[in-house]
């Protein structure tokens, strides 16, 4: 698991979008390859690749946020299924399916909130069941890898489409606020919320982005600001608690965030702090947009009350980045996500179009009543 290479990217502004490093790559054309990913815990000061050659490493990478962002988690998990079965010699269909279930359940335990994880794993399970019933054992693992690659490529196309639909909402010269990181680092390529900015830039429109730090792990400061600067999109970093003041000064014309799970009624789970932004945006008459692929919708749950909220370690707040910043032994409450009620969301931007008003009827009209169930 040693990095192939690393280098300091501080001050590097010459990276063109087409040359941006890929968050996730399957190395080798065969099912005997391995998964390479950017270790996002080291950005922005160091760009380092982590080679995942077994399922345990993928699980650890998801759990510790070396890879993060709902779509990227799903893609990584799909490849993780291949790695979990790779060392095994499986010729009996029943044993193959048992081992497939074991690997899938293991990966499903890495993080609870992002629905793309469970959606991708369910796709891998369905493909495994199909090939076990219809093909020879030599085809089972290649078929699973082909599905993982399909998930990867579909996400790339979805992000581009989200960007095109979302860019139509932004006028030239607009100033937008975003939270956490919903860019290429969180997906296959362009991102979700950041895809809107990238696409607007591609179309020749000027966009200025205010970036929340995003406590406690600073994904906005460390990752979003880095991505925007690589694309030479003007951005200003602010602390999360400054958002209301910046809105009151008239500096923000829109808020755009990503999402980790969207219920059937449009209630949306995203990085902690998103709910506060939505309330502030409504108080100031600013449209609040959510950008997410249809794979992030979970129509098996009626509302956000049913979305599981991940609780993270207290040390992320008391000892962020290795330094004690609170009294030892203090009680800590550290939910990783919050839920924004649909009534605060102006529009959800998907690869299939814009959802507005945000309600169960319009959601089913745009994405279809047959949207996948996230359950395993």
Task: Write out the DSSP string of 195-261.
Answer: HHHHHHHHTT--EEEEEE--TTTTHIIIIIHHHHHHTT--EEEE-GGGHHHHHHTT--SEEEE--SE
Active site residue 8: no
Architecture of the domain whose range is 6-158 = Up-down Bundle (1.20)
Q: What is the pLDDT, as a whole number, of residue 19?
A: 55
The string of pLDDT tens digits covering residues 268-299 is 999 999 999 999 999 999 999 999 999 999 99
What are the boundaries of each domain within the chain? Answer: 6-158, 168-367
Q: What is the pLDDT, as a whole number, of residue 203?
A: 96
pTM of the predicted model as reported, rounded to 2 decimal places? 0.87
Q: Which member of 260, 267, 298, 338 is catalytic?
A: 260
Q: What is the pLDDT, as a whole number, of residue 20?
A: 67
CATH 3.40.50.10880 for the 168-367 domain, yes or no: no
Q: Which residues, given as ranges, of the chain have pLDDT below 70?
A: 1-20, 369-376
Strand order in 288-291's β-sheet? 235-238, 207-212, 174-178, 254-257, 288-291, 347-350, 353-355
The string of pLDDT tens digits covering residues 220-256 is 999 999 999 999 999 999 999 999 999 999 999 999 9
């Amino acid at each position: 698991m040693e990095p192939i290479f690393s280098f300091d990217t501080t001050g590097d502004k010459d990276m063109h979008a087409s040359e941006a490093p890929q968050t996730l790559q399957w190395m080798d054309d065969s099912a005997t390859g391995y998964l390479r990913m950017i270790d996002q815990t080291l950005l922005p000061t160091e760009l380092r690749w982590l080679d995942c050659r077994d399922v345990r490493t993928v699980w650890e990478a998801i759990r510790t946020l070396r890879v993060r962002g709902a779509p990227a988690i799903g893609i990584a998990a799909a490849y993780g299924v291949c790695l979990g079965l790779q060392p095994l010699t499986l010729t009996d269909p029943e044993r193959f399916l048992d081992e497939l279930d074991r690997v899938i359940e293991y990966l499903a335990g890495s993080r609870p909130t992002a629905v793309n994880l469970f959606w991708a794993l369910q796709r891998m399970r369905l493909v495994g069941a199909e090939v076990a019933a219809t093909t020879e054992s030599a085809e089972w693992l290649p078929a699973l890898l082909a599905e993982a690659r399909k998930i990867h490529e579909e996400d790339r196309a979805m992000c581009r489409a989200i960007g095109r639909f979302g860019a139509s909402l932004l006028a030239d010269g607009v100033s937008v606020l975003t939270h956490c990181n919903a860019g290429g680092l969180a997906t296959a390529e362009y991102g979700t919320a950041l895809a809107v900015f990238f696409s607007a830039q591609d179309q020749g429109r000027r966009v200025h982005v205010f970036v929340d730090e995003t406590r406690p792990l600073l994904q906005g400061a460390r990752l979003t600001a880095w991505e925007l600067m690589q694309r030479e999109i003007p951005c200003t970093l602010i602390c999360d608690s400054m958002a209301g003041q910046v809105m009151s000064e008239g500096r923000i014309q829109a808020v755009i965030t990503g999402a980790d799970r969207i219920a059937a009624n449009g209630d949306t789970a995203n990085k902690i702090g998103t709910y506060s932004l939505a309330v502030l945006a409504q108080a100031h008459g600013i449209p609040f947009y959510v950008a997410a692929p249809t794979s992030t919708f979970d129509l098996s749950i009626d509302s956000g009350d049913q979305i599981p909220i991940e609780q993270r370690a207290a040390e992320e707040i008391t000892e962020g980045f290795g330094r004690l910043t609170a009294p030892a032994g203090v009680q800590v409450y550290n939910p990783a996500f919050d839920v924004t009620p649909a009534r605060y969301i102006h529009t959800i931007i998907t690869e299939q179009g814009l959802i507005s008003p945000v309600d169960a009827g319009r959601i089913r009209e745009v994405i279809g009543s047959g949207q996948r169930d996230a359950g395993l």
